[in-house]
Amino acid sequence: MKSLILVNIFTIFLAFLAINVVDAKKKVVEPELVKETIKYSDYGDLDVYYDKSLLKKRRPVIIHVHGGGWCEGSKDKEGYMGNFFQKKGYVSVLLNYRLYPQTESIDDMVEDVYTALKWVNKNIKNYGGNKNEITLMGHSAGAHIATLTTVKAGLKMKVNGKKLKPFHFKHLIPLNGRHSIDEGEALQEGIDQLYQLSHIPGLDFLALYAEAREHLLIGKSGYDQVKILKGYEDKSIDFLGAEKYTFVECDEDTVDPMGLSDPMIEQLKRTVNNVTIDHKIFHGDHQYMLDGVKNDDAKIEGELLEIVESVY
């Protein structure tokens, strides 16, 4: 009799265990990684990389602005950045904006990025993103435009006749950006040098970079965020768009050499009350972070993730 009872108990236990194993298997949801392209304005579109199986999770968001000397590059060429963050559990957004010669105004680029950021704030919840946990990142010229847009919006400046409204990001990460731009003779000398270098085989693309700087910068203003902040008194700005700024530079960068972040860091410390500032220097060239992600370099990927995750 006791043996029969024990057998029944054991049978019930096995059945219970089997039910729980089945339930556990049912709860395992396979990732459904999707890239969706959206036209955010008449001038640009953006890609949202998200996991369709996690739409209700409200995950952190990474927005990446591509570089290219204000005259080339695209979200598609840096799509590996969207894929990388998507696979790491983020909702990621990559965007296009007007470039020279489509425009001869830096403010047109700012307007495009600002419009895209507004779209993300309004709509990212539909893709599982948390609008309160957004990191804005840009590389090279994209770092400049991302930072300039944040500054102009934070200060409620007018762009193309429209007054911008401030954003509130968790983090702004300019990668190898140019944060103080030459003017006058220094600017012209830099342009002339680019034209000269463009005659070297393989460097002909630099002529477009030189031409873009001629048309976008010479005789114009409002494109230098450092100069904008110099017009404000000490500690006169309560908040400037991001809780934390992390400037990334590389010691072998010949495109945007080390030290170009220093003037911006100085002005942020002088003028802004509520901001955390970090400055990271790595051993590498202008493409260090992007090439690391593109080539699946675990060390560099880890360095980038450490910067991103520092606010969470």
Looking at the structure, do residues 37 and 78 belong to the same domain, yes or no?
yes
In a domain, 216, yes or no: no
Claim to verify: residue 23 and residue 143 sit in the same structural domain: no
Say whether both 74 and 170 belong to one domain: yes
CATH code of the domain covering residue 130:
3.40.50.1820
Question: Which range marks the domain in which residue 1 is found?
Answer: 1-30
**Distance of alpha carbon 269 from alpha carbon 275, whole angstroms:** 8
105 and 129, same domain (yes or no): yes
For 21-72, write each residue's pLDDT tens digit: 444 445 677 899 999 999 999 999 999 999 999 998 899 999 999 999 999 9
How many domains does one find in the chain? Answer: 2
pLDDT on residue 19: 46
| Contact assessment for residue 290 and residue 255, using Cβ atoms and an 8 Å cutoff | no
The Cα 173–Cα 305 span in angstroms is 12
Q: Please tell me whether residues 254 and 237 are part of one structural domain.
A: yes
If asked whether residues 101 and 7 sit together in one domain, one would say no
User: What kind and span of H or E run contains 35?
Assistant: strand 33-39
Together in a domain, 47 and 60 = yes
Q: In what order do the strands lie in the sheet with 276-282?
A: 33-39, 45-51, 91-95, 59-65, 129-139, 169-175, 242-250, 276-282
Radius of gyration of the chain (CA): 24
Q: In Å, what is the CA distance from 191 to each residue of 104, 141, 215, 262?
A: 16, 16, 11, 23
Query: Do 18 and 87 belong together in one domain?
Result: no
> Are 120 and 63 spatial neighbours (Cβ–Cβ below 8 Å)?
yes
Q: How far apart are CA 205 and CA 210, in angstroms?
A: 9
State how beta strands 162-163 and 158-159 pair: antiparallel
Cα(78)–Cα(233) distance, integer angstroms: 38
Task: Name the pairing type of β-strands 242-250 and 276-282.
Answer: parallel
Which uninterrupted H or E stretch holds 242? strand 242-250
Please tell me the predicted confidence (pLDDT) of residue 29: 75
Whether 4 and 93 share a structural domain: no
- Beta bridge partners, 47, equal 37, 94
In this prediction, residue 28 carries a pLDDT of: 72
Q: Can you tell me the distance from the alpha carbon of 252 to that of 286, in angstroms, rounded to the nearest whole number?
A: 7
- Reported in sequence order, the residue ranges of the chain that DSSP labels E, i.e. its strands, are 33-39, 45-51, 59-65, 91-95, 129-139, 158-159, 162-163, 169-175, 242-250, 276-282
pTM for this prediction = 0.90
* Residue written as token pair 């790595």: 282
Biggest alpha carbon distance in the chain? 103
Q: What is the pLDDT along the chain (312 residues), one digit of tens a residue?
A: 445 444 454 454 444 444 454 444 456 778 999 999 999 999 999 999 999 999 988 999 999 999 999 999 999 999 999 999 999 999 999 999 999 999 999 999 999 999 999 999 999 999 999 999 999 999 999 999 999 999 999 999 999 999 999 999 999 999 999 998 999 999 999 999 999 999 999 999 999 999 999 999 999 999 999 999 999 999 999 999 999 999 999 999 999 999 999 999 999 999 999 899 999 999 999 999 999 999 999 999 999 999 999 998
CA–CA gap between residue 20 and residue 250 (Å, rounded):
53
